[in-house]
Structure 1
Amino acid sequence: MSKNALSIFVFLLIAFGLSWLLSLPLWLGDGLADPLFAVVALAMMFTPAIAAIIVVFAIERPRDKARVLGLWPLKPAGRFIGYLALGLTVPVALILVALPIGAVLGVYPADFVTFSAFQEMLDAQMASAGASELPIPIAVLVGLQFINVLVGAFINLVPALGEELGWRGWLLPKLMRLGTVPALLLSGVIWGLWHAPLILLGYNYPGAPGWLGLTMMIGMSTVVGAVFGWLRLRSDSVWPAALAHGAFNAAAGFSLVFAAAGESIDTTQATILGWSGWIVPLVLVGVLITTKQFTPAAPKVTVHESVAARTS
């Protein structure tokens, strides 16, 4: 076994092994209703980072470990900031555009006018708090959700980095030697399968059989993971992908904000989790592949480095 293959094997063994170990209390307890669910789900997000760090420090031991993980350098500054901005906005746009597409296809019960499901949820919260009505118009509260997503993206950055340091920071560049499409497909399938301990308990796809939920999660992870991978490779940094992951998680609740009251949402078909939500991301990834946007950005050579190279 080559050193590269050994590194990937050990990485996957640790990342998957830890995720199943951490989720064991849920399987032995009350599943998603277990009081430990939130803690377990959060802890699981750090297992890919732990696996990557162990492999880099114990097996590979490269000279520039931070660069191998995508943590450093944060330059050129213009490119880095530009991809951070894309990481903050593109996932939110993909989540939002999935909703009208799902509505047009008849799989998402939308209410883009009165926001009735959101209104119903807020009314219930107000009633439980002993208040009679909302203090401000529902449309204003909907607008405030965009600010919540912006704040949430940065709050989620640390746990999102726990995943991205492994999946896109370390693993994806390793797989790129297989070619762009195989690397994106393989990394996406791996990322989707890693979610199995929670998906098989009904997370993200309640009501769907376990095999179907996991299949859909693999599909979503492959499509969305390719977008995160583009941010990682073109920026030469894991930070834009981590911010994108944080924004993606923060914006997931938009599917409830724009839904019609009294209707159920089948996430195997609707929202970014379902097949109708993959249409636009697939088109985007196709354009990025066609235009060779997954080619890692060439490092810029400074004047000092250029002179040193000519005189050596």
Structure 2
Amino acid sequence: MTVQHPAGAPVRPHRGAAGGRHRDLVAVVVFVALAFALGWLVALPLWLGDGLTSPWFPVVAVALMTTPTIAALAVVLLVERPQRKAETLGLWPLTPLRRVLGYGALGVFVPIALVLVALPVGALLGVYPADFVGLSAFRQLLDAQAGAAGVGELPLSVGAIVALQLATLPLAAVLNLIPALGEEIGWRGWLLPKLMPLGTVPALLVSGVVWGLWHAPVILLGYNYPDAPGWLGLTMMVGTCTVFGAVFGWLRLRSGSVWPAALAHAAFNGAAGTYLLFARAGERVDTTQATVLGWSGWIVPLVLVAVLLATGRLAPAAEPSGPARGASVPVAEPSGSAAEPSGPAAEPSNPAPVEPRQD
């Protein structure tokens, strides 16, 4: 009998359950160690130089995002060596196409909605200094930029510029897709399916925590949480990655493909800086409490994940006519009993002209 991982790559039963688990454990350990080592190596120039103010920071940030994919490719090519490598990474096949496209669309719009809804939630809880009507902080920023450029008057109103930026967020998701894919091939493409024998919730939790800790080389320098001590910033980043990694994982598992998760990651990165559009002038935003990076921004996505879990929509989508090539189905437990249905800074790139503060 042949069983399949959620990634869709057929896996023949191991001679012994213990041997199979051991091989998977070795692969996971090698992947995590390599991803972390490469991450620190890429970020080393920042630690030896001017940190986040280094002119090399944009290059380092993009290079850092490629390290999970490099680690996944190394494990697939040198350790596991499956026959269908693209399937093992979740890149192929894109079938059923309608399902992949549908979850791809959700991957664009759900993260944008979660990023934006975090702002009124934070305002209601008193942790986000909002000015949704006057847009005073953004107005102040635009005036400063116009003055520096020698422009007397902006051609559009502040409200029109904000509306234009919001309207282009889906486009930002497409433009950010390739860098986001550099992470997602590793985290959701390879690692999440490999952890699925643990069960949906444990797999999502473990992959989210690993993803969050991987950000340590830049978080400890003050990235995303500039006003927090390093330990607190890293703790909050782990929380953010665990919560949103569950959302990205839902898209990966239900679609059977890494592409919707990559679009979600790209949309998240593109929208994360929108908190600067609606902030009140003269007040600093504490990202440990407000925006999607803080605890108030986790409330709505946690509710979403809880609903998906309660309705059974967090598990991989089953094929109605039985497993087919590329199908996404849960892995059977070695004992023969069915496995629990099983199943994310972030490096947000802020929409121009907003100055980056993020993940």
Cα deviation, 1:14-44, whole Å, max 9, x if unaligned, reads 1000000010010011110011111111100
Selected match of 1:222 from 235, 242, 262: 242
Q: Give the letter for the 1:189 counterpart.
A: V
Q: Give the letter for the 1:35 counterpart.
A: P
- 1:16-35 aligned within 5 A: 16-35=36-55
Selected match of 1:192 from 200, 212, 217: 212
CA-CA distance at 1:13 after TM superposition: 1.2
Selected match of 2:80 from 40, 45, 60: 60
Which residue of structure 2 lines up, in the alignment, with residue 139 of structure 1? 159
Within 1, Cα distance between the matches of 2:315 and 2:241? 21
Within 2, Cα distance between the matches of 1:204 and 1:180? 29
- 1:121-200 aligned within 5 A: 121-200=141-220
CA-CA distance at 1:85 after TM superposition: 0.6
- 1:1-312 aligned within 5 A: 2-299=22-319, 301=321
The runs of 5 or more residues in structure 2 that have no matched partner are 1-18, 326-359
Which residue of structure 2 lines up, in the alignment, with residue 310 of structure 1? none
The runs of 5 or more residues in structure 1 that have no matched partner are 306-312
Task: Give the alignment's TM-score, normalised by structure 2.
Answer: 0.83
CA-CA distance at 1:147 after TM superposition: 3.1
Q: Give the letter for the 1:4 counterpart.
A: D
How many equivalent pairs are there?
A: 304
- Report the identity percentage: 65
Identify, as 1 or 2, the structure richer in helix. 1
Q: Give the letter for the 1:27 counterpart.
A: W
Aligned Cα RMSD in Å? 1.4
Q: Give the letter for the 2:277 counterpart.
A: V
CA-CA distance at 1:300 after TM superposition: 5.8
Tell whether the 8 Å contact from 2:69 to 2:183 is kept in structure 1 after alignment: yes
Of 135-144 and 145-154, the range deviating more from structure 2: 145-154
Q: 3-state SS of the aligned residue for 1:111?
A: coil
Within 2, Cα distance between the matches of 1:291 and 1:184? 17
